[in-house]
């Protein structure tokens, strides 16, 4: 198929709460955004709509007193974005060139140039890859298996039930401690004989009477029934190789998250894990005109509502950039679409040709 060429002012990558909120705001600003998302792929565990597409009940998103099904919530997001004119495209992005503006994105069927790019590719939970872990109907994902205690822990099916947390880092300790609010007992399964978590997180978990640690042990299989969901786990002691079964009603995988940023390596600044680095006062990355929102730049909160909030910010930042207004950068300076740099102290403007003028109208008028 011949490659088609598209030219846009705003392109958004990702269709979770962050990407769709960015689409809603930029579409309402008449910027006619194009939203690109990966096609549904069971092997790669991708589905348009993000991680909420595998979440059954969402009880902590404002505006839904009785809660809402994850896919239903994302469908409402999508309809709202469509209402204001967002264009959708499901394609795998093969390459991105951010070396100059307009930026260039290539897929199998399209070459897309854009003046601004909003990255909302999210972060994926790391999984064990064991039987019973996959999404329903191939496993119990969404029916007793979760990677987010804050999202799913308060659900009725987990209340006053024994639960399992897998992991030994800060995330696992935080999840286990949080789940003690609802569970009758929380078992932390760790493959080593000591934790990797920070001392303060270890102490908190080790002194919690509702948490029991199972050391030197791996989860080999998640057990359950189609209707009832998770009923237990099959364990193996890595020292003795002995196997055992532990009854439980839920399994929370807490071995970390991996931001979906491989496409941007070498072009955008990232932290050691791979999360995109943005400015404190905006969603700008180190490349002017490229903005990041949602879990792809948030290694702390990772909630739908915070992702949506940063999606709003990214759209407003992109709109401001396109309106020739300065946008705060991670370096502390501000940059315009004409590549003018406002110094961090706001005292001067460095023009694209390298000349400098005072950032005060009356002083600039005198010099000119």
Active site residues: 148, 151-152
Distance CA 312, CA 301 (A): 16
| Residue 239: half-sphere exposure toward Cβ, Cα within 13 Å | 8
Q: With 0-12 CB in 10 A as exposed, 13-18 as middle and 19+ as buried, what is 192?
A: exposed
273 three-state secondary structure: coil
For residue 49, how far is the Cα from the chain centroid?
Answer: 12
* Token reading at 136: 């329903």
Q: From CA 261, how far away is CA 145, in angstroms rounded?
A: 25
Quote the tokens at residue 95.
């390459």
Within 10 angstroms of residue 367's Cβ, the number of other Cβ atoms is 8
Q: Reduced to 3 states, what is the DSSP secondary structure of residue 107?
A: strand
| C-alpha to C-alpha distance for 216 and 189, rounded to whole angstroms | 8
Q: CB–CB of 69/56 below 8 Å?
A: yes
- In 3D space, the residue among 7, 8, 10 whose CA is nearest the CA of residue 25 turns out to be 10
Pinpoint the alpha helices (H) of 34-148: 70-83
């Amino acid at each position: 198929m011949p490659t088609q060429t598209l030219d846009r002012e705003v392109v958004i990558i990702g269709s979770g709460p962050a990407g769709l909120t960015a689409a809603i705001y930029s579409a309402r600003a008449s910027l006619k955004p194009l939203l690109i998302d990966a096609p549904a792929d069971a092997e790669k565990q991708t589905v348009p709509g993000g991680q909420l597409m595998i979440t059954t009940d969402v009880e902590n998103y404002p505006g839904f007193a009785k809660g809402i099904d994850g896919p239903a919530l994302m469908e409402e997001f999508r309809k709202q974005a469509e209402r204001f004119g967002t264009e959708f495209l499901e394609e795998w992005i093969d390459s991105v060139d951010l070396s100059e503006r307009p930026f260039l994105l290539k897929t199998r069927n399209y070459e897309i140039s854009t003046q601004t790019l909003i990255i909302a590719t999210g972060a994926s939970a790391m999984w064990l890859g064991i039987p019973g872990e996959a999404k329903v109907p191939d496993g119990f994902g969404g029916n007793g298996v979760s990677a987010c205690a804050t999202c799913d822990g308060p659900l009725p099916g987990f209340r006053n039930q024994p639960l399992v947390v897998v992991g030994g880092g800060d995330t696992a300790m935080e999840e286990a401690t949080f789940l003690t609010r609802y569970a009758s007992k929380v078992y932390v399964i760790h493959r080593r004989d000591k934790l990797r978590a920070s001392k303060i997180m270890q102490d908190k978990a080790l002194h919690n009477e509702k948490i029991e640690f199972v050391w030197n042990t791996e989860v080999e299989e998640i057990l359950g029934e189609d209707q009832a969901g998770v009923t237990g786990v099959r364990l193996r002691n890595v020292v003795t190789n002995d196997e055992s079964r532990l009854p439980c009603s839920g399994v929370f995988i807490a071995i970390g998250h991996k931001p979906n940023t491989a496409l941007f390596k070498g072009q955008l600044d990232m932290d050691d894990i791979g999360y995109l680095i943005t400015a404190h006062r905006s969603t700008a990355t180190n490349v002017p005109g490229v903005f990041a929102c949602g879990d792809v730049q948030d290694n702390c909160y990772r909630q739908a509502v915070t992702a949506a909030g940063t999606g709003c910010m990214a759209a407003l930042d992109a709109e401001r950039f396109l309106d020739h207004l300065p946008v705060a950068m991670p370096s502390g300076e501000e940059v315009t679409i004409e590549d003018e740099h406002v110094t961090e102290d706001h005292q001067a403007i460095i023009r694209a040709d390298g000349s400098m003028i005072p950032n005060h109208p009356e002083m600039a008028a005198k010099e000119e």
